[in-house]
A = this chain, B = another copy of it.
Protein backbone atom coordinates (compact mmCIF):
# COMPACT_ATOMS: atom_id res chain seq x y z
CA UNK A 1 0.00 0.00 0.00
CA UNK A 2 1.42 3.38 -1.00
CA UNK A 3 0.35 6.87 -0.03
CA UNK A 4 -1.75 7.39 -3.15
CA UNK A 5 -3.76 4.24 -2.69
CA UNK A 6 -4.12 4.94 1.01
CA UNK A 7 -5.65 8.35 0.30
CA UNK A 8 -8.06 6.80 -2.19
CA UNK A 9 -9.07 4.09 0.26
CA UNK A 10 -9.51 6.55 3.10
CA UNK A 11 -11.61 8.81 0.89
CA UNK A 12 -13.78 5.86 -0.09
CA UNK A 13 -14.47 5.03 3.55
CA UNK A 14 -14.84 8.64 4.67
CA UNK A 15 -18.54 8.91 4.03
CA UNK A 16 -21.45 7.59 6.09
CA UNK A 17 -23.20 5.61 3.40
CA UNK A 18 -20.04 4.06 2.04
CA UNK A 19 -18.68 3.17 5.45
CA UNK A 20 -22.02 1.56 6.34
CA UNK A 21 -22.08 -0.29 3.04
CA UNK A 22 -18.56 -1.57 3.55
CA UNK A 23 -19.28 -2.70 7.08
CA UNK A 24 -22.34 -4.60 5.89
CA UNK A 25 -20.25 -6.29 3.22
CA UNK A 26 -17.57 -7.19 5.76
CA UNK A 27 -20.23 -8.71 8.00
CA UNK A 28 -21.80 -10.52 5.08
CA UNK A 29 -18.67 -12.54 4.48
CA UNK A 30 -16.90 -13.59 1.29
CA UNK A 31 -20.08 -14.14 -0.72
CA UNK A 32 -21.15 -10.55 -0.19
CA UNK A 33 -24.59 -9.16 -0.88
CA UNK A 34 -26.64 -8.40 -3.96
CA UNK A 35 -26.80 -4.69 -4.76
CA UNK A 36 -30.55 -4.55 -4.19
CA UNK A 37 -30.18 -6.23 -0.83
CA UNK A 38 -27.59 -3.66 0.19
CA UNK A 39 -29.76 -0.78 -1.04
CA UNK A 40 -32.64 -2.08 1.03
CA UNK A 41 -30.53 -2.44 4.18
CA UNK A 42 -29.05 1.01 3.72
CA UNK A 43 -32.40 2.48 2.75
CA UNK A 44 -31.06 4.37 -0.22
CA UNK A 45 -32.04 4.51 -3.89
CA UNK A 46 -30.44 2.17 -6.44
CA UNK A 47 -28.63 5.01 -8.24
CA UNK A 48 -27.27 6.32 -4.96
CA UNK A 49 -25.98 2.88 -4.05
CA UNK A 50 -24.49 2.42 -7.48
CA UNK A 51 -22.65 5.70 -7.12
CA UNK A 52 -21.17 4.75 -3.75
CA UNK A 53 -20.27 1.20 -4.74
CA UNK A 54 -18.41 2.58 -7.72
CA UNK A 55 -16.37 4.67 -5.28
CA UNK A 56 -15.56 1.65 -3.12
CA UNK A 57 -14.73 -0.49 -6.15
CA UNK A 58 -12.54 2.22 -7.63
CA UNK A 59 -10.58 2.26 -4.38
CA UNK A 60 -10.23 -1.51 -4.61
CA UNK A 61 -12.12 -2.14 -1.39
CA UNK A 62 -14.95 -4.16 -2.93
CA UNK A 63 -15.30 -6.59 -5.79
CA UNK A 64 -18.37 -7.45 -7.79
CA UNK A 65 -19.55 -10.55 -9.59
CA UNK A 66 -22.65 -11.02 -11.65
CA UNK A 67 -25.01 -13.90 -11.02
CA UNK A 68 -27.95 -13.92 -13.34
CA UNK A 69 -29.54 -10.53 -13.11
CA UNK A 70 -28.08 -9.93 -9.65
CA UNK A 71 -24.75 -8.32 -8.99
CA UNK A 72 -23.08 -9.39 -5.80
CA UNK A 73 -20.64 -7.09 -4.06
CA UNK A 74 -18.15 -8.32 -1.48
CA UNK A 75 -15.50 -6.73 0.71
CA UNK A 76 -11.88 -7.17 -0.31
CA UNK A 77 -10.38 -8.13 3.03
CA UNK A 78 -6.82 -8.01 1.74
CA UNK A 79 -7.23 -4.42 0.59
CA UNK A 80 -8.58 -3.45 3.99
CA UNK A 81 -5.72 -5.23 5.71
CA UNK A 82 -3.26 -3.32 3.55
CA UNK A 83 -4.89 -0.06 4.55
CA UNK A 84 -4.76 -0.86 8.25
CA UNK A 85 -1.18 -1.95 7.78
CA UNK A 86 -0.31 1.32 6.11
CA UNK A 87 -1.92 3.34 8.89
CA UNK A 88 -0.18 1.28 11.54
CA UNK A 89 3.23 1.63 9.95
CA UNK A 90 3.00 5.22 8.83
CA UNK A 91 0.64 6.98 11.17
CA UNK A 92 1.17 5.36 14.54
CA UNK A 93 4.78 6.20 15.19
CA UNK A 94 6.17 3.02 13.72
CA UNK A 95 5.22 0.89 16.71
CA UNK A 96 2.29 -1.45 16.88
CA UNK A 97 -0.76 0.68 17.24
CA UNK A 98 -3.75 -1.36 18.38
CA UNK A 99 -2.68 -4.98 18.30
CA UNK A 100 -4.23 -6.35 21.48
CA UNK A 101 -7.90 -6.97 22.07
CA UNK A 102 -8.57 -7.59 18.37
CA UNK A 103 -10.77 -10.59 19.13
CA UNK A 104 -13.92 -8.54 18.48
CA UNK A 105 -16.27 -7.93 21.37
CA UNK A 106 -19.14 -6.70 19.22
CA UNK A 107 -20.15 -8.05 15.83
CA UNK A 108 -19.63 -11.62 16.87
CA UNK A 109 -19.03 -13.20 13.52
CA UNK A 110 -22.62 -14.03 12.68
CA UNK A 111 -22.02 -14.43 9.04
CA UNK A 112 -23.83 -16.87 6.76
CA UNK A 113 -27.22 -17.58 8.37
Contacts and interface: CB of A to CB of B under 8 A. Distances in A.
A100 B57 CA distance: 27
A89 B81 CA distance: 12
Contact of A84 (B29, B92, B94): B92
Interface size class of A (residues with CB under 8 A): 35 or more
Most chain B beta-carbon neighbours within 10 Å: one of A16, A83, A102, A109: A102
5 contacts: A26-B92, A80-B92, A84-B98, A93-B109, A94-B104
Interface of A: 3, 6-7, 10-11, 13-16, 19-20, 22-23, 26-27, 29, 75, 77, 80-85, 87-99, 101-111
Given A7-B14, A75-B91, 14 more contacts: A3-B16, A3-B20, A7-B13, A11-B11, A14-B14, A22-B91, A23-B91, A26-B90, A26-B92, A81-B98, A84-B98, A97-B102, A99-B99, A99-B102
